[in-house]
């Protein structure tokens, strides 16, 4: 059972591939979000033969910047999951992909948008009830790519009681100095409304969001299992921050899985995860000190 829980997020990472727009496989729901104050969608993947009394694990997948709830269908992942399930490659699972716009999966400081509450207070319980999934935390997992990887780590940090595991794919994992530098950047400021999302935070407040500061012992993860992965075609900053965080986890004896994946998409933008083939073997051996608990 422990190995199966590990294989669930790991297998979804290896299937995160595809470049063509394919027929829709997921089921879409559009509803008003009180947390965000607008109409939003979420998409759900469930096995075609899901039984009425079957209780499966639930994975909350947070998309990256520029993607939306249809990112699984755009990548053909629903069909790939069907194929993997048919040959027993992965455990049976339900996956929900909520819309997150460009909200960084945060509850904005100005109170205008609460994307974390949308995902966890509105979407998650609705999907749990509709698809009769397993109870959290043992039956719930969170994962995401890029901006969504950042969001997944934030969810695990702020609400670890909801999840058994967190998987971050090509996530920006910044320390306090890097976060402050980005917030002060003129160019980043043109793209991201920092003050609306995070407010005018000082160093002490920023440090409270710094995983290098918050996760220093195994107990700090509150039982959440951790996997981080990045691609060999990622921008240098993503590679560097993930490698730095891996070394931090090793140095503090924190159980984790971390690897760089050969993506097969040389020359594509690092944010274009739809064109990555993560079914290839890791670009380097699993480092010592990792755990497959």
Report the C-alpha gap between 29 and 43 in whole angstroms. Answer: 6
Q: Which two tokens stand for residue 275?
A: 């064109």
Q: Confidence class of residue 187 from pLDDT cuts 50, 70 and 90?
A: low
- Pairing assessment for the beta strands 38-45 and 94-98 based on DSSP bridges: antiparallel
User: What pLDDT score was predicted for residue 34?
Assistant: 97
Instruction: Give yes or no for residue 275 having a pLDDT over 50.
Output: no
Instruction: Work out the angle at residue 142's Cα, subtended by the Cα atoms of residues 35 and 254, and round it to the nearest 5 degrees.
Output: 125
The pTM for the full model equals 0.84
User: What pLDDT score was predicted for residue 280?
Assistant: 34
Q: What is the pLDDT of residues 245-257, one digit of tens each?
A: 999 999 999 999 9
Mean pLDDT of the chain: 83
Q: Confidence class of residue 22 from pLDDT cuts 50, 70 and 90?
A: low
Please report, for the chain, the start and end positions of each structural domain, with discontinuous segments joined by +. 2-175+210-275
User: What pLDDT score was predicted for residue 264?
Assistant: 55
Distance of CA 125 to the CA centre of its chain: 18
* Cβ proximity of 278 and 14 under 8 Å: yes
**For the chain, what percent of residues have pLDDT higher than 90?**
62
Nearest to 124 by CA among 107, 106, 139: 139
- For the domain spanning 2-175+210-275, the CATH number is 3.40.50.1820
Report the C-alpha gap between 110 and 119 in whole angstroms. Answer: 18
* Cβ proximity of 119 and 147 under 8 Å: no
* Helix, strand, coil content of the chain in percent (nearest 5): 40, 15, 45
From residue 161, how far is each of 156, 192, 224, 275 by CA, in Å? 8, 29, 8, 33
Q: Tell me which of 78-82, 121-125, 194-198 is least confident.
A: 194-198
| DSSP-assigned letters across all residues of 58-77 | EEEEE--TT--TTHHHHHTH
Specify whether the backbone of 283 is left (phi greater than 0), alpha (psi in -120 to 50) or beta: alpha
Report the C-alpha gap between 221 and 214 in whole angstroms. Answer: 9
Q: Confidence class of residue 12 from pLDDT cuts 50, 70 and 90?
A: low
The residue that leads in pLDDT, 111 or 270, is 111
Nearest to 103 by CA among 120, 121, 94, 116: 116
Q: What is the pLDDT of residues 201-240, one digit of tens each?
A: 677 777 788 999 999 999 999 999 999 999 988 887 899 9
Q: What is the pLDDT of residues 127-159, one digit of tens each?
A: 999 999 999 999 999 999 999 999 999 999 999
Q: Confidence class of residue 179 from pLDDT cuts 50, 70 and 90?
A: confident
Report the C-alpha gap between 11 and 218 in whole angstroms. Answer: 24
């Amino acid at each position: 059972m422990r190995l199966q829980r590990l294989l669930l997020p790991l297998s979804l990472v290896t299937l995160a591939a595809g470049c063509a727009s394919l027929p829709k496989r997921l089921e879409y729901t559009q509803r008003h979000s009180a947390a965000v104050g607008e109409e939003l969608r979420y998409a759900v993947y469930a096995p075609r033969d899901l039984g009425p009394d079957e209780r499966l694990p639930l994975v909350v997948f947070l998309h990256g910047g520029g993607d939306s709830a249809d990112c699984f269908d755009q990548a053909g992942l629903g069909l790939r999951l069907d194929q993997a399930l048919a040959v027993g490659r992965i455990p049976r699972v339900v996956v929900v992909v909520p819309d997150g716009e460009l909200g960084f999966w945060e509850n904005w400081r100005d109170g205008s948008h609460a994307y974390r509450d949308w995902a966890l207070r509105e979407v998650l319980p609705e999907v749990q009830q509709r698809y009769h999934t397993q109870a959290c935390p043992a039956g719930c997992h969170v994962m995401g790519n890029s901006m969504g990887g950042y969001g997944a780590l934030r969810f695990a940090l702020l609400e670890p009681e909801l999840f058994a595991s967190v998987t971050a794919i090509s996530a920006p994992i910044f320390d306090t100095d890097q976060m402050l530098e980005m917030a002060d950047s003129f160019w980043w400021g043109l793209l991201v409304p920092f003050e609306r999302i995070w407010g005018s935070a000082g160093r002490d407040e920023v440090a409270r969001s710094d995983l290098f500061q918050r996760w220093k012992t195994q107990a700090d993860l509150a039982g959440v299992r951790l996997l981080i992965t990045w691609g060999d075609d990622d921008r240098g900053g993503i590679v560097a921050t993930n490698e730095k965080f891996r070394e931090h986890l090793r140095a503090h004896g924190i159980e984790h899985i971390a690897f760089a994946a050969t993506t097969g998409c040389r020359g594509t933008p690092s944010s274009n995860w739809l064109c990555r083939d993560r079914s290839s073997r890791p670009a380097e051996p699993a480092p010592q000190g990792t755990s497959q608990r």
